[in-house]
Amino acid sequence: MKLILALSVLISFNTFGDERNDVATSFMKALQKELMMGMKKGPKAGLIHCNDKAMPVTNSFNNDKYEVGRVSLKLRNPSNKPSEELKRALLDYSSSSAKNKMDAKVILLSNKEEVFVKPLYMKGACLNCHGANLSAGVKNELKKRYPSDEAIGYKLGDFRGLVWVKKR
């Protein structure tokens, strides 16, 4: 029992100390900063701001050392479509929730590349734009900007998707 405990601490510590985890955290923080700036004027303004900024922020984290992105089974921006292998990972995580979290992990792809993935769960603020009761303003903007949007109807704590980080 003690050994199992020690091992699991070691494993989670290893993921925690993984530099890819730091990159994933900085990436999410940068997106959250934009989200908060946009939301100051309400959810509709926030949505327009995210529509503007999400991709440029993502691209700014893609450099000669790392490749990063977000994927989901229910997409808003079609460019976040998962590869077959990331889709499998998404399915693995899809039964988890904020109350029943799964840890970040490293996936080995068939081409031997490693991808670090970290789950995202729905918080209260997320529901303004991904929940079941959207304001009329948000609904209208979604229709205009993301006509094939699938990323709505989430509840608090739902698994939303993965942040992924690959070392080049």
Binding residues (CB under 6 A) for ligand HEC: these are 35, 38-39, 43, 46-47, 50-51, 54-55, 70, 72, 75-77, 80, 120, 122-123, 125-126, 128-130, 151, 160-161
Cβ contact 39:138 at 8 Å: no
Pick 20 or 71: Cβ nearer ligand HEC: 71
We find the least distance from the C-beta atom of residue 17 to ligand HEC, in angstroms, to be 24
Cβ contact 121:97 at 8 Å: yes
Pick 21 or 77: Cβ nearer ligand HEC: 77
d(CA 82, CA 90): 9
We find the least distance from the C-beta atom of residue 45 to ligand HEC, in angstroms, to be 8
**Tokens read off for 100:** 């029943």
d(CA 150, CA 144): 14
We find the least distance from the C-beta atom of residue 36 to ligand HEC, in angstroms, to be 9
d(CA 120, CA 74): 13
